Structure 1
Amino acid sequence: MKKPLFRFLPLIILVIAIAVAYAFDLHHALSLESLNAQKDKFQALTETHPILAPIIFVALYTACVALSLPIATLLTLLGGFLFGLAAGTLLVVIGATLGATIVFLIAKTALGETLREKAGPFYKKIESNMKDNAIGYLLFMRLVPLFPFVAVNVVPALFNVSLSVFFFTTFFGIIPGSAVYVYFGQQLGAIDSLGDIISPSMLLAFALLGLFALIPTLYKQLRNRKARVATS
């Protein structure tokens, strides 16, 4: 009895933390207007505390992602404004990866183990396919900005993807998208709407990049299918 309870404890704590964050309206704590109004103050604090500021930024970004607060895009823009393209992208990617990993580990411990204990053959088949092709699938989902970030954190956990694969694909998969927002964040005052940042052509470019990452996986599956047909 204690073991299942302990397994679900991190998930319970996370759900309570998310509920508290939303109850205190933290998901509305930051807006493009407030960011522009306070940007000079944030910049002054960053210049005054050049070592502490990046650490606090990463911690805030990690908490934002772990609590599924919909302000990560705004924090990414702020990162570009405060730290520039290279450092800003690195800090954003570190914070996002750490936050995503927290959610992944909690979901894997609480939900993934339970699913595996009660799973039937259909789940086992999906789990096997997911584990064999996890890098291609996850890179595709990270590169193409159509999949909800929190969903891509949880789904791999349900199908027993390893921590190392999840961490690798998250870290490298979110670099292109993060770099775009960080780049635009450098001209924070000139942005009137978040919709001005991502154009249809940019979405297409990300989609093609995701498909490119998926090519080795598709080739592997095609080769395995041909091998099965040849031996049947």
Structure 2
Amino acid sequence: MKQQFTRLALFLLLAAGIALAILYRDRFNTAALEQWVGGAGAAAPLLFMAIYAIATVLFLPGSMLTLAGGALFGPVVGTFVNLTGATLGALLAFLLSRHLASHWVEHKAAGRLGQLKAGVEQEGWRFVAFVRLVPLFPFNLLNYALGLTRIRLLHYLVATYLCMLPGALAYTWLGYAGREALAGGEGLIQKGLMALALLAIVAFLPRIIGRLRQGPTLGINELNDRLEKGEPLLLLDVRSEADYRGEMGHIAGSRNIPLEALEARLTELADYQEQPVALICTTDRRSKKAAQILAGEGFAEVHVVAGGMAEWHKAALPVHTAAPMQSTAPSQSTAQATE
């Protein structure tokens, strides 16, 4: 009973803090930060990190803080201060969420939510690293969401600190370059170009990470060898059902989920997140799009079959034209026959 009361009191205190932070959000700006930090002397970096951590917990904008950190402390010290403050805030939010609600979520999570939670926990630090490098969700909200999982604290902390470094460096340098521009410092062109280059790298990180997670393409002969050897491999055909069953046929043992339905049916593939997945279509255009979807959902090893079924036919390898063994959803004719 005492523990429940403590949790309730902590939750109400946190909710009140977030509400006040949102209400007075317009007063939280660069000028106010400079005034608070300016008189702290040697303790200014520590004070700024504390402000950054509290702001993260209270859903205040981190981008403004990072730019301010670059302007106040320069690119090197500023990056350290920003990254450390953001990580401390992420850690506090993670611990608060875990203490307040993880036990309740553990018993209530079911269905799609339960599968999603299990998938995140299975990925562990790799999921944390991925979402820090490729920010799919708002940073502040993600910290609380990850606290509801059973991801290890140390894994969360290390992956957060290391994988937020590129973004922290880019935005800190941008804040520094902006301050120099206003002050009329030397080397403005070089500093501005450096800031743009770092931002470009951060902007392209999602594509780079997605390609890394896709793994190398599979040639037709290599795919055939792996299938003949019985290696653990999900061969996913992302053509339409009509094409899958049509004149071109399909490869024995493959599974058909059309590209258009892939995102809605990802739960069917949950068992394959840590196993090799080979994607095939008529050529490889649809497979590449499917690979981006699976990589974005945390699948560890995704391969695109180069040339697709067109190359498979050129190699005169066997195909099947019978209906697929697994049923995605009953076709209209099947439903009518059943009725």
TM-score for both structures, normalised by structure 1: 0.75
2:47 to 56, 61, 68: 56
Partner residue in 2 for 1:230: none
CA contact (8 A) 1:112 1:158 kept: yes
Are residue 22 (structure 1) and residue 75 (structure 2) matched? no
Q: What is the CA distance between 1:42 and its match in structure 2? A: 7.9
Partner residue in 2 for 1:157: 147
Partner residue in 2 for 1:99: 89
Code of the aligned partner of 2:204: A
CA contact (8 A) 1:141 1:210 kept: no
Residue by residue over 1:105-156, the C-alpha shift from the partner in whole angstroms, topping out at 9 and shown as x without a partner, is 1111212110112344655544332222122221111112342002221221
Q: What is the CA distance between 1:65 and its match in structure 2? A: 0.6
CA contact (8 A) 1:126 1:159 kept: no
Code of the aligned partner of 2:162: F
Q: What is the CA distance between 1:173 and its match in structure 2? A: 1.7
1:145 to 135, 157, 181: 135
Distance in 2 between residues matched to 1:200 and 1:57, nearest whole Å: 23
Code of the aligned partner of 2:123: N
Distance in 2 between residues matched to 1:126 and 1:163, nearest whole Å: 19
Distance in 1 between residues matched to 2:108 and 2:273, nearest whole Å: 30
CA contact (8 A) 1:78 1:188 kept: no
Partner residue in 2 for 1:13: 13
Partner residue in 1 for 2:206: 207
2:169 to 174, 179, 199: 179
Are residue 118 (structure 1) and residue 116 (structure 2) matched? no
CA contact (8 A) 2:133 2:163 kept: yes
Q: How big is the alpha-carbon RMSD for the aligned residues of Structure 1 and Structure 2?
A: 3.3
Q: Structure 1 residues 150 and 5 mapped into 2: Cα distance closer, same or farther (>3 Å)?
A: same
CA contact (8 A) 1:8 1:109 kept: no
Structure 1: 5+ residue runs without aligned partners? Answer: 226-232
Distance in 1 between residues matched to 2:92 and 2:12, nearest whole Å: 13
Code of the aligned partner of 1:99: G
Code of the aligned partner of 2:83: V
Partner residue in 1 for 2:275: 222
CA contact (8 A) 2:87 2:160 kept: yes
Partner residue in 2 for 1:228: none
Percent identity, please: 26
CA contact (8 A) 2:133 2:206 kept: yes
Residues 27-38 of structure 1 aligned to structure 2 (within 5 Å): 27-31=25-29, 34=31
CA contact (8 A) 1:142 1:152 kept: no
Higher relative contact order (CA 8 A, sep 6+): 1
Residue by residue over 1:148-169, the C-alpha shift from the partner in whole angstroms, topping out at 9 and shown as x without a partner, is 0022212212222221121112
CA contact (8 A) 1:143 1:207 kept: yes
Code of the aligned partner of 2:131: M
CA contact (8 A) 2:69 2:79 kept: yes
Are residue 87 (structure 1) and residue 85 (structure 2) matched? no
CA contact (8 A) 1:137 1:214 kept: no
Structure 2: 5+ residue runs without aligned partners? Answer: 183-194, 216-271, 278-298, 300-339
Structure 1 runs (4+) greater than 6 angstroms displaced: 196-200
Aligned to 1:68, what secondary structure does the other structure show?
coil
CA contact (8 A) 1:138 1:152 kept: no
Whose Rg is larger? 2
Distance in 2 between residues matched to 1:146 and 1:110, nearest whole Å: 24
Are residue 65 (structure 1) and residue 64 (structure 2) matched? no
Distance in 1 between residues matched to 2:165 and 2:101, nearest whole Å: 28
TM-score for both structures, normalised by structure 2: 0.53
Q: What is the CA distance between 1:54 and its match in structure 2? A: 0.7
Aligned to 2:274, what secondary structure does the other structure show?
helix
